Amino acid sequence: MLLEELSNAFGPAGCEDEVRRLLARALHKQVDRLETDALGNLIAFKQGTGPEPRLKVMVDAHMDEVGLMVSRFEKSGLLGFRAVGGLDARLLLAKGVLVGENRLPGVITAPPIHLTTPEQSSQILKIEQLVIDIGAASDDEAKSLVRLGDYATFDTQFQLLREDGLRTVKGKAFDDRVGCAIATMLAEEEYAVDLYLSLSAQEETGLRGARVAAYRIEPDVAFALEGTVCDDAPRKEDVSPTSQLGKGPAITVMDRSFIADRRLVQLLTDLAETLEIPYQFKQPGVGGTDAGAIHLARTGVPSVAVSVPCRYIHAPVSMASLNDIDHTLTLMKAALQALPERWPALS
């Protein structure tokens, strides 16, 4: 399954090569042109079948995941590291990682408990205090195995958990390999519009790939496909979760990075209602996506974000529902088909 391969691939921000190769292989027969740009974005162009002038539609999904970078060697052979993208230090202790080109297994650990005071034991450790243990006996040995600046990702294998019901899957990097999978599957169909798929780099470190990709593509409209926060555990108070597993694609009205173009939100909700695709609104004000960078390119691009709810994003193991992924794909296909007729009227 493409999602499985994508989820297992090694691709922290700035080091997306393996993911890019997988996607290029999956896409090259479906599209007219594939290019990699200066930041590592993979841009796939599929010419539309409609008459000119054709709408230029950009569909973005980012290839990179949050990860770690080796930043120092300790005499003991333990490796100090920095976060690449947003990571919660509390989620790192005792997790397995894969380090460097050779994917050396390691474990994230902290100084041994014998050496910590009682106050220190109850404190939340910061990333600067954590280390990766690759089993080296000294810093010389460690330096022969990894280099300063090597990346590390979580050592998590994809798995289908439930074959029916929510059809839940677990794996790492669902943010945003689910988006990449959906974008790839979109390319299997023909559309009247000119489709530019931007499989973007370095979203997690500041929406950087999408910014230059949008500048280059100059789209008329843009869709960002994401894996989003899904915090639907039961709570005492009656407050909205950011999104819920199983309730369908989550449409962003506003987040910290942009305010969605309301005509595109309208288009998506109209289609979802007509085609009876379940959908939800992502809670406004949370998070940011590549749409934040895309909508400000040049003189502005009407943009919207459509996301698959993912529990535990930016953690070693995330969870998503294949039902939500299928519904997101169905909605996106319908949107691309409907644009030539609906967009002129809406705008």
Chain positions contacting other proteins, by CB under 8 A: 238-240, 253-254, 258-259, 262, 265, 281, 283-286, 295-296, 298-302
What's the closest the beta carbon of residue 25 comes to other proteins, in angstroms? 36
| Residue 215 beta carbon to other proteins: minimum distance, rounded to whole angstroms | 10
- Show contacts of 262-267: CB within 8 Å, 24+ apart: 263/302, 263/343, 263/346, 263/347, 264/221, 264/223, 264/302, 264/303, 264/304, 265/304, 266/346, 267/335, 267/338, 267/339, 267/342, 267/343, 267/346
Is 128 known to be catalytic? no
Are residues 285 and 258 in contact, defined by beta-carbon separation less than 8 angstroms?
Answer: no
Judged by beta carbon, residue 3 or residue 265, the one nearer other proteins is 265
86 vs 300, beta carbon nearer other proteins: 300
Q: Of the listed 101, 128, 188, 203, which one is catalytic? A: 203
| Shortest Å distance, C-beta 214 to other proteins | 11
Number of DSSP helices (H) and strands (E) in the chain, helices first? 9, 17
- How far apart CA 227 and CA 242 sit, in angstroms, is 12
- Nearer to other proteins by Cβ, of 157 and 240: the residue is 240
Tokens of 294: 């895309």
List the alpha helices (DSSP H) in the chain.
2-8, 17-27, 118-122, 139-145, 174-186, 208-217, 262-274, 291-294, 322-346
For residue 80, list its beta bridge partners: 72, 131
Nearest distance in Å: CB 267, other proteins:
15
Closest to other proteins by CB, 293 or 338: 293
Q: How far is the CB of 154 from other proteins (least distance, A)?
A: 31
Confirm if 7 and 180 have CB atoms less than 8 A apart.
no
For other proteins, the closer of residues 127 and 346 by Cβ is 346
Strand 280-282 to 250-252 pairing: parallel
Residues serving a catalytic function are: 203
